[in-house]
Structure 1
Amino acid sequence: MRTEVVDKKTDRLRLKKSMTYAILLLMVFVSAIFVVFQVFEYRQDYRKLSTYMRERDDLNAEWGRLLIEQQTFGATAQIGTRAVTQLRMYSPPINQTVVISLPQTSDAKK
């Protein structure tokens, strides 16, 4: 009878150990699957971030070109204003305008 009790206890102990190992093994597999999903999400997020960074750089370059264009148009108006105020330049009236036409050469007729 005593051997039966000892056999039952060892059977229970073996069952507990095997269940514990099975649970631990299952937890390791679940953890590995979560790691794979996390790496996948990280790569997706990094790809999106790279796309946004490229778009930001393109927009910054376009912004710089637009600023240069704005300064160019502002400089044209400023040159005209300075020509009138400082140099007293003006557009001549039509009666003071002379149009000179060049005679056509034989090469131009072809």
Structure 2
Amino acid sequence: MSLRLILAVLIAANVASAIGVVYARHQHRLQFVALDKLTKARDELNIEFGRLQLEQATWAESNRIDQVARNRLHMVFPQTDEIVVIRP
């Protein structure tokens, strides 16, 4: 083979390798941006989940349930003479 042909093949391989590196870096950047967006979305969802857990705990407190039962539903505790025990 002639020296010029070997040199041309090596230059072509070098250019192809450089294009491959540029393409790989570009893909890496795109994937990193996508990962960063997903990480931010995950963090926002975790914050919202914490808020919802706190809200659920607040609404589920026995004092709150008792207050709603008395005020909205007009429920009262039965008097002792109104309680009937049923045995099997």
For these two proteins, the number of residue pairs brought into alignment is: 75
3-state DSSP class of the match of 1:55? helix
Partner of 1:85: 80
Partner of 1:10: 3
Partner of 2:52: 59
Superposition TM-score, scaled by structure 1 size? 0.61
Unaligned runs of 5+ in 2: 82-88
Residue 19 of structure 1, aligned match among 5, 8, 12: 12
1:37-75 deviation per Cα after TM superposition (whole angstroms, max 9, x unaligned) = 1111110000000111111111110000110122x3488
Match status 1:42 vs 2:35: yes
Unaligned runs of 5+ in 1: 1-5, 87-110
Structural RMSD (CA): 2.0
Mapped to 2, the partners of 1:75 and 1:35 lie a distance apart of 58
Mapped to 2, the partners of 1:14 and 1:53 lie a distance apart of 58
Amino acid at match of 2:3: T
3-state DSSP class of the match of 1:52? helix
Rg (Cα) greater in structure: 1
Runs of 4 or more, structure 1, over 4 Å off, are 74-78
- Identity value in percent: 9
